[in-house]
Structure 1
Amino acid sequence: MEHIVTDMGCNASIDDRAESKSEKAIKAAVLIQKWYRSTRARLEISRRYSLTIFQSIEYADEQDQAQLASFFTFMLERYADPDAVADASISPSVSHQADSYLTEYENIEVPDSYCGPRLSFPLTLADANALLHAFKDGQLLHAHYVLQLLCETRRVLKEKPNINLVSVSYSKEITVCGDLHGNLDDLFLIFYKNGLPSEKKPYVFNGDFVDRGRNSMEILIILFAFLLIYPNDVHLNRGNHEDYVINLRYGFSSEVLNKYKVHGKVILYLLQDVFSWLPLATIINKKVLIVHGGISNTTDLDFLNLLERNKLKSLMRPPKPEADREEQAKEGTPAARPSTCAANEHVTRKTRGVSSSGSTELSRPNSQSGPTLKEWKQVLDILWSDPRKQNGCVPNKRRGGGCYFGPDTTARLLERYNLKMLIRSHEFKREGYELTHGGKVITIFSASNYYEEGSNRGAYIRLNPDLIPHFVQYQVRECTDKQNYWERVKTIERSALQTLREKIFAHRSTLTEAFAKYDCNNTGKISVSDWAAAMESVLCLELPWRTLQFHLVKTDTDGKVDYMSCFHNMEIAQSTEEVQPALVETLCKYRKDLEIIFNIMDEDQSGLISFDEFRKTWRIFSSHLGIDAYDASIDKLAQSIDYNKDDYIDFSEFLEAFHVVHKRDKKPT
């Protein structure tokens, strides 16, 4: 018995120790779990506000683009060549016939040394495969074939209605893709996962093929090639970036001119016309409406289907009111393209012209009149609008165009046309898609890594014969496979904060004045709420400033914000101490716009413009914006940076000086 008792005692002791260890293990596991969840939550917050920063600044840029559209229009007209394509290697002169440019490719020889794909028309699937393989290897399609492809595409698109009515049989699915924005790898991945377009594999590509990414031209060539091969099974909707004025700011024009230095202007000229012939919408089986942006409370599909869509070369150029047109008609002047700066310098052209930026406009003798305000507004709404949760329809002030439409607006339109759902794109989505308005509105976004590698997935939709959507997500990965989740989020966060700091620095003087209004005693410190209010009043980005304060400014023990600290670690790339600070800030703020203007002025794409032309254009630009011209300071600035070479300015180097950087990242001069 004693032995048994002893054994029991020993067992009890062992059990106690085991229980104690078990409790410690459970507590440790709970602590680890709490730490993990807390860390993941913080990372998720960082990722969300980083993406919000990117998106807010993107929309602010679009708003700036809309506000400056009239000035860019003036520049295009002022520097347009009214008589010929500005490229002697193509043709010494150009016919006054409206469609003479359609044969330009015949004057361009393809040398024997060219190793890329050689297309034969009508195109075959073998030609499309040759293009895919060539682009995977980084090759360019020769300008002769590019122009011929665009001419054939234009011919096919002209036969399409404004709204494509697509009937899908019960034996196959149809795939809908959203914004690609020049991300060629995303298109390759879609084709790899889903299959190439064919009679058995129809596709709808819902606009925004170009801008931002590096391979917009290659995407267009591939999509146009498949359109020519399968004209009844490949459907292309127009997006808001299929617009030559938008292309000036967001990179497509520069991409084409860099890749096709000799013939780039003619390519862009023809693309301007091709874009205007892209259909505006697609309806599948009379039940699913697909448009790029959205709708408004005035959207009229019957009206949209009847208008002359090719009149709308750019939506950044609203037509003049009817009263102004009638007045112009009485005076015997052509319908003017609006330009607030160019009233006295309007260039009347009776032939087509190519601007020195390569961005051009078709102008024809006795051509059709321009679009009416109603036509322009109807198309603007379907290309620029975004859904929102609240009922109603209000102007989209964040983008500067289109509207925000609520679930009631969606319900009315679907009921009016007996539709089942609306598929649209136009908006970045972290998972590549989003359902709103009770599942009646689907946003599909196909460009993965849109803001930064790892920032988002892309997606496309497969619609089965019952029109039930199936979403397929993907993400092209180059570096992110080598990074853990924490590293990926921190990379995105750093990039977003750097972009935001650049914008803050570019508004330094205005922000300083806003801060001072809250600092009555001139202490250099204000409350967090006052700091957030001042930031929003100047930048208008609708950001979570209270959350961001820890990354942007210093605070004292009392919670007061040292508001000037948001500028402490930032400066421009080039030292300009001797130049008027207000001018430096102005150049930082309008750097992107000046780059567009310089590209317009650079007729031979040499990267150089005359200093006299620069000074004159700067004076016009500053007058348009209502800012001081700083003529003497501009001269001193060019000389101090030493980019004034034989009375010419290397404008890319000049603008490089106004990059906003961290002080530790500043390049040595």
Structure 2
Amino acid sequence: MIANVRGDERPPDNALSGENNLLSNLNEKDYDKSIDLYTKAIELNPFVASYYGNRSFAYIKTEFYGYALADADKAIKLDPKYVKAYYRRATANMALGKFKLALKDFEAVTKSHPTDKDAQKKYNECNKIVTRIAFEKAISVEEKKKSVVDQINLSTISVESDYDGPRLENEEKVSLKFALDLMKAYKDQKKLHRKYAYTGKKFTVCGDVHGQFYDLMNIFELNGIPSADNPYLFNGDFVDRGSFSVECIFTLLTFKLLYPNHFFMSRGNHESETMNQMYGFDGEVKSKYTGQMATLFTEVYNLLPLSHCINNSILVMHGGLFSDDNVTLDDLRKIERNRQPPESGLMCELLWSDPQPQNGRSPSKRGVGIQFGPDVTKKFLEKNNLKYIIRSHEVKQAGYEVAHNGQCITVFSAPNYCDTMGNKGAFVTLKGGDLTPKFTSYEAVPHPNVRPMAYANSLLSLLA
């Protein structure tokens, strides 16, 4: 494959020609192999812009947006006329919600290739997003906005006589029967009525489910329905990418209402307004319900805990650890979480950071948060008198990974992520006084013929 990439590559008049055929000799499960091969090519000749540009593409496909940006920058430095590198950089910035930076690169491409219709379309779509954000900011008021909750009058919402879905007892109480009826209805591709949508001896930790409702149902079939005797913690990224995110979040919130002291939910990096607008949840909610409902979810996500401590021994968070060695559990308790995630600081790092095999810290492969080594984990655990951490946030082929001398566990619960990655999903069960983790891996199960990212922002689909 490397031999087919020429160092003097120049884009044709249509700057996107061959975009979707890049790495054509690899199937969608081999981006890690592609990264490895292009890395070896760069070691042999570090002055070929296309090597960096193509590796940037593979990094984007594996969601390592920080690395993708760095490679795109290097490709542009080596060859300022290498148009695909501008696309790579724009794509990575779009994925991180940095729309103004993406717009600059799209503008550069349209100026260099004024007849390229694809480039013009991407520029126009990105410009719409930047314009909309600027308009919303201009008309916003500094005082606290009235909550959507205060604008909803349930008494005015009637349940139609022909509605045959789950019903709340006495129109207000969540019961086990309601939860079971809800899951059955979702399996049959029915919808919960909007009135109910607004009301709302082991311990199992699950990672990202990303809108893969039928795989979520498989977890409950394998491990049992949540109950007071079968508690669960879902560790963020309940929505986005998968196209059954509404079904996932309502099922999880139903169990939270049913068992408030035995069912727990941590916020992930995708429980944010920007991610939801890009990766599908916002569009899905608006398609199945209303824009008001989408705004309500933003408010709900702002209230989710950022981490959980189990038996004063295990800290569970979605992303990872911190750029400061002196962080304590009290520092985490003091974080103001009722807001959109910032781009730096403790809240950002809890949601975005990743472990690395080597000691120390490194810039994030995602472009947000940090990467932290075994020594960082060890110091944090010793300072806070903890045994180990459990985090999610990353696809693992077995659905889980034990790293940092057993002190850092990753669990990812969305098998065959986005219907392309071929990974297993997993959950962790903790039993006994010493809370020894037990891992259960499982394959993906069939789902209705709705593709992942079906509700995602149209510009992302253009960049795929």
Q: If the length of structure 2 is used for normalisation, what is the TM-score?
A: 0.69
**Residue 359 of structure 2: which of 375, 388, 391 is its match?**
391
Residues 228 and 262, structure 2, Cα contact 8 Å, conserved in 1: yes
What do the CA deviations read for 1:135-190 (whole angstroms, capped 9, x no partner)? 010001111111121xxxxxxxxxxxxxxxxxxxxxx1100000000001111111
Distance (Å, rounded) in 2 between the aligned partners of 1:106 and 1:268: 20
**Residue 391 of structure 2: which of 424, 437, 452 is its match?**
424
- The offset of 1:252, in angstroms, is 0.7
- The offset of 1:47, in angstroms, is 8.0
Kindly indicate whether residue 405 of structure 2 is the aligned counterpart of residue 379 of structure 1.
no
Distance (Å, rounded) in 1 between the aligned partners of 2:362 and 2:421: 33
Kindly indicate whether residue 155 of structure 2 is the aligned counterpart of residue 125 of structure 1.
no
- The offset of 1:259, in angstroms, is 1.3
Kindly indicate whether residue 420 of structure 2 is the aligned counterpart of residue 436 of structure 1.
no
Q: Residues 102 and 205 of structure 1: is their aligned pair in 2 closer, same or farther, counting only changes over 3 Å?
A: farther
- The offset of 1:304, in angstroms, is 1.9
Residues 242 and 418, structure 2, Cα contact 8 Å, conserved in 1: no
- 2:33 aligned residue: 49
Kindly indicate whether residue 80 of structure 2 is the aligned counterpart of residue 113 of structure 1.
no
Q: Residues 146 and 304 of structure 1: is their aligned pair in 2 closer, same or farther, counting only changes over 3 Å?
A: same
The DSSP-based 3-state class of the residue aligned with 2:318 is coil
- 1:192 aligned residue: 221
Q: Residues 278 and 449 of structure 1: is their aligned pair in 2 closer, same or farther, counting only changes over 3 Å?
A: same
- 1:307 aligned residue: 335
Q: Residues 73 and 438 of structure 1: is their aligned pair in 2 closer, same or farther, counting only changes over 3 Å?
A: farther
- 1:473 aligned residue: 441
- The offset of 1:225, in angstroms, is 0.6
Q: Residues 447 and 54 of structure 1: is their aligned pair in 2 closer, same or farther, counting only changes over 3 Å?
A: farther
Distance (Å, rounded) in 1 between the aligned partners of 2:199 and 2:139: 24
Q: Residues 252 and 594 of structure 1: is their aligned pair in 2 closer, same or farther, counting only changes over 3 Å?
A: closer
The DSSP-based 3-state class of the residue aligned with 1:414 is helix
What do the CA deviations read for 1:602-660 (whole angstroms, capped 9, x no partner)? xxxxxxxxxxxxxxxxxxxxxxxxxxxxxxxxxxxxxxxxxxxxxxxxxxxxx8xx688
What do the CA deviations read for 1:90-141 (whole angstroms, capped 9, x no partner)? xxxxxx8546535343332221122211223221111101101100100011
One-letter amino acid of the counterpart of residue 419, structure 1:
L
- 1:526 aligned residue: none
- 1:461 aligned residue: 428
- 2:310 aligned residue: 284
1:228-377 maps to which residues of 2 (within 5 A)?
228-260=257-289, 264-298=290-324, 299-310=327-338, 312-315=339-342, 318=343, 377=345
One-letter amino acid of the counterpart of residue 377, structure 1:
G
Residues 206 and 237, structure 1, Cα contact 8 Å, conserved in 2: yes
- The offset of 1:301, in angstroms, is 2.5
- The offset of 1:393, in angstroms, is 1.6
Residues 314 and 388, structure 2, Cα contact 8 Å, conserved in 1: yes
- 1:65 aligned residue: 95
- The offset of 1:266, in angstroms, is 0.8
- The offset of 1:474, in angstroms, is 0.5
1:130-149 maps to which residues of 2 (within 5 A)?
130-149=181-200
Distance (Å, rounded) in 2 between the aligned partners of 1:202 and 1:279: 17
Q: Residues 471 and 100 of structure 1: is their aligned pair in 2 closer, same or farther, counting only changes over 3 Å?
A: closer
Structural RMSD (CA): 3.1
The DSSP-based 3-state class of the residue aligned with 2:441 is strand
1:134-173 maps to which residues of 2 (within 5 A)?
134-149=185-200, 172-173=201-202
Residues 62 and 399, structure 1, Cα contact 8 Å, conserved in 2: no
Q: How many residues align?
A: 351
Distance (Å, rounded) in 1 between the aligned partners of 2:271 and 2:398: 24
- 2:84 aligned residue: none
Distance (Å, rounded) in 2 between the aligned partners of 1:302 and 1:196: 33
Distance (Å, rounded) in 1 between the aligned partners of 2:226 and 2:348: 29
Distance (Å, rounded) in 2 between the aligned partners of 1:44 and 1:449: 11
Distance (Å, rounded) in 2 between the aligned partners of 1:148 and 1:402: 35
The DSSP-based 3-state class of the residue aligned with 2:439 is strand
The DSSP-based 3-state class of the residue aligned with 2:417 is coil
Residues 245 and 314, structure 1, Cα contact 8 Å, conserved in 2: no
Distance (Å, rounded) in 2 between the aligned partners of 1:237 and 1:132: 21
Q: Residues 62 and 225 of structure 1: is their aligned pair in 2 closer, same or farther, counting only changes over 3 Å?
A: farther
Q: Residues 51 and 130 of structure 1: is their aligned pair in 2 closer, same or farther, counting only changes over 3 Å?
A: farther
Q: Percent identity?
A: 38
- The offset of 1:287, in angstroms, is 0.5
What do the CA deviations read for 1:435-469 (whole angstroms, capped 9, x no partner)? 11111100000000104357110000011122111
- 1:357 aligned residue: none
The DSSP-based 3-state class of the residue aligned with 2:419 is coil
One-letter amino acid of the counterpart of residue 106, structure 1:
S
Q: Residues 244 and 445 of structure 1: is their aligned pair in 2 closer, same or farther, counting only changes over 3 Å?
A: same
Residues 106 and 144, structure 1, Cα contact 8 Å, conserved in 2: no
Distance (Å, rounded) in 2 between the aligned partners of 1:117 and 1:187: 19
One-letter amino acid of the counterpart of residue 123, structure 1:
V
Distance (Å, rounded) in 2 between the aligned partners of 1:66 and 1:132: 33
Q: Residues 239 and 208 of structure 1: is their aligned pair in 2 closer, same or farther, counting only changes over 3 Å?
A: same
- 2:135 aligned residue: 78
Q: Residues 290 and 138 of structure 1: is their aligned pair in 2 closer, same or farther, counting only changes over 3 Å?
A: same
Q: Residues 195 and 177 of structure 1: is their aligned pair in 2 closer, same or farther, counting only changes over 3 Å?
A: same
The higher radius of gyration belongs to 1
- The offset of 1:404, in angstroms, is 0.4
The DSSP-based 3-state class of the residue aligned with 1:309 is coil
**Residue 406 of structure 1: which of 351, 373, 395 is its match?**
373
Contiguous gaps of at least 5 residues in structure 1? 1-41, 84-95, 150-171, 319-375, 480-591, 597-654, 661-669
1:8-27 maps to which residues of 2 (within 5 A)?
none
The DSSP-based 3-state class of the residue aligned with 1:228 is helix
One-letter amino acid of the counterpart of residue 49, structure 1:
K
One-letter amino acid of the counterpart of residue 255, structure 1:
E
One-letter amino acid of the counterpart of residue 258, structure 2:
I
Q: Residues 225 and 67 of structure 1: is their aligned pair in 2 closer, same or farther, counting only changes over 3 Å?
A: closer
Contiguous gaps of at least 5 residues in structure 2? 1-25, 37-56, 66-90, 102-128, 448-455
Distance (Å, rounded) in 2 between the aligned partners of 1:448 and 1:45: 13
One-letter amino acid of the counterpart of residue 340, structure 2:
K
Residues 63 and 401, structure 1, Cα contact 8 Å, conserved in 2: no
- The offset of 1:78, in angstroms, is 1.2
Q: If the length of structure 1 is used for normalisation, what is the TM-score?
A: 0.49
1:33-44 maps to which residues of 2 (within 5 A)?
none
Distance (Å, rounded) in 1 between the aligned partners of 2:97 and 2:249: 28
Distance (Å, rounded) in 1 between the aligned partners of 2:360 and 2:261: 37
- The offset of 1:64, in angstroms, is 3.4
Kindly indicate whether residue 236 of structure 2 is the aligned counterpart of residue 207 of structure 1.
yes
Distance (Å, rounded) in 1 between the aligned partners of 2:196 and 2:29: 49
What do the CA deviations read for 1:13-65 (whole angstroms, capped 9, x no partner)? xxxxxxxxxxxxxxxxxxxxxxxxxxxxx999958527987664223356533
